[in-house]
Structure 1
Amino acid sequence: MNSQEAFKVSILASGSSGNSLYIESEKQKILVDAGLSGKKITSLMNEVGRSPAELDAILVTHEHTDHIHGVGVLSRKHGIDVYANEKTWEAMTKNVGNIDPEHKRIFERGKTLTFGDMDIESFGVSHDAADPQFYQFHRNNKRFVVLTDTGYCSDRIKGTVKDADAYLMESNHDLSMLRMGKYPWSLKQRILGDKGHLSNEDGALVMTELIGNNTKRIYLGHLSRENNIKELAHMTMEHTLREHDFGVGHDLMVYDTDPDIASAMFAI
């Protein structure tokens, strides 16, 4: 890592079937969520030349299975500290199994904790979980934001995460595909509600309010297998940004993520 770089990041998996993100600085290696099996996450980390044995911490956003499936296994096998807020710990304990008390850490919503050479800020979101929160990473005057699993983006959130260098932003569903799809109406209502997920259109509109002079990379995350298509999410984001006069393709770039393949490591 050269002196100009604050972080290196790989989005190991992103989608309705499982989510996990790896971020490192010179002194820290951290996982955000572990929503796949321990074996799968190990394989995805190996794809980018890393191993769970190197991890300093796992940060949990909320207790849904597609974010915690491998948390307990990885912590027990490699002795990794797990961070979540108190309500999330209460909600997920039965699903992650026994974790050594010395590896159970509290990271409350709205707080900033220092991990070695980086500061990590948590912020609450609107989702149907006990106390969902996502994270903003700070180092060397650069910032990386993880923001998926929210039904809407409040002015408070926008103010907190505006003008970061890079984002993992939710593009969960295409509205027409969801409305015409096979999901039961109750599930459609949940996804479309204020505690559900951002659509391609909503995620793109949120980004038009977040982008600043520092913003160079937008990764589209948490795409639904049933109600979205990569090309559609990508096209919606780029089209919306161009409509708002952002220089897509030269000032900033839009990237896809995958539920099964780790993204190439990128530097911020």
Structure 2
Amino acid sequence: MGMQFSVLASGSTGNATFIETEEHSFLVDAGFSGKKMESLFSQIDRKISDLSGIFVTHEHSDHIKGVGVLARKYKLPIYANEKTWRAMDRLIGDVPTEQKFIFNMESVKSFGDCDIESFGVSHDAAEPMFYVFRQGGKKLVLITDTGYVSDRMKGTIRDADIYIFESNHDVQMLRMCRYPWNIKRRILSDIGHVSNEDAAIAMSEVIGDNTKQIYLAHLSLDNNMKDLARMSVSQTLEHKGIIVGEQVELCDTDPKNPTALTAV
């Protein structure tokens, strides 16, 4: 079977991604209610009770809303770095100590047939980090919630088979929207979110011979659209000499519904 995944839902209202190998299955973030998470799992015909653990990227509510509920109900281990644990502990409610695990930034944990590497991003959270999943020579990268993509990040995520990559906003839509200026400034900053164009520039520098698909993730409900994100990213990639549809495929994610369970 190898490694399979589904972006269960992704957007400014909530985020969750499912990854499985022959031996283990994992959830990265649970930014929805327990009931919604159960519905998302049922749509891909998988069980939350079978998870090997929940991996938390950072403490913002659109990533941890259901973490405590799922951990308590299904007795699941939770993995996060120390600063994230301190920031989210009171937000997720009581979780038994034996279900709390530290996963330090810039480290690797092995789970049977799968290695998971954590790496830091630039976001206004305690110590935000995302993950690279490796299994059987395949590589899946999950990177959202970052104001920019540094050379260090690019080195870690280069030449993945699959990217789940933030394409948060269209800059002009954001500038023209009704958000207060302090919110716009935060999103546009180095600790906010990457735009369609900036995401595509970063993609162009990490796409390799193994790269098959890029899933455009964490789209703003107010300041982006699927068609616009796809068009903007395509144009920028093609300007950089990468032909979408031939060298790499762009795929949508949805704020409410899962992508099909797909092999890496």
TM-score (norm 2): 0.99
Amino acid at match of 2:20: E
2:27 equivalent to 1:31: yes
The whole-number CA distance in structure 2 between the counterparts of 1:218 and 1:241 is 12
Match of 1:254, SS state, is strand
The whole-number CA distance in structure 2 between the counterparts of 1:14 and 1:206 is 20
The whole-number CA distance in structure 2 between the counterparts of 1:126 and 1:42 is 31
Stretches of structure 1 that go unaligned for 5 or more consecutive residues are none
Match of 2:119, SS state, is strand
- 1:75 — aligned with what? 71
Percentage of identical aligned residues = 55
2:170 equivalent to 1:174: yes
- 1:13 — aligned with what? 9
Stretches of structure 2 that go unaligned for 5 or more consecutive residues are none
Amino acid at match of 2:15: N
Query: How far apart are residue 242 of structure 1 and its match?
Result: 1.4
CA RMSD across the alignment: 0.6
2:98 equivalent to 1:102: yes
- 2:254 — aligned with what? 258
Moved more, 185-194 or 242-251: 242-251
Moved more, 241-250 or 151-160: 241-250
- 2:207 — aligned with what? 211
The whole-number CA distance in structure 1 between the counterparts of 2:244 and 2:198 is 18
2:62 equivalent to 1:66: yes
- 1:124 — aligned with what? 120
Write out per-residue CA displacement over residues 36-78 of structure 1, whole angstroms, 9 at most, x where no aligned residue: 0111011001101101111110000000000000000000000
Query: How far apart are residue 247 of structure 1 and its match?
Result: 2.7
The whole-number CA distance in structure 2 between the counterparts of 1:138 and 1:42 is 26
The whole-number CA distance in structure 2 between the counterparts of 1:25 and 1:72 is 24
Write out per-residue CA displacement over residues 57-101 of structure 1, whole angstroms, 9 at most, x where no aligned residue: 000000000000000000000010000000000000111000111
The whole-number CA distance in structure 2 between the counterparts of 1:229 and 1:259 is 11
2:197 equivalent to 1:234: no
Deviating above 4 A after TM superposition, structure 1's stretches of 4 or more consecutive aligned residues are none
Given candidates 105, 109, 112, the residue that maps to 1:113 is 109
- 1:145 — aligned with what? 141
Count, aligned residues: 264
Match of 1:14, SS state, is strand
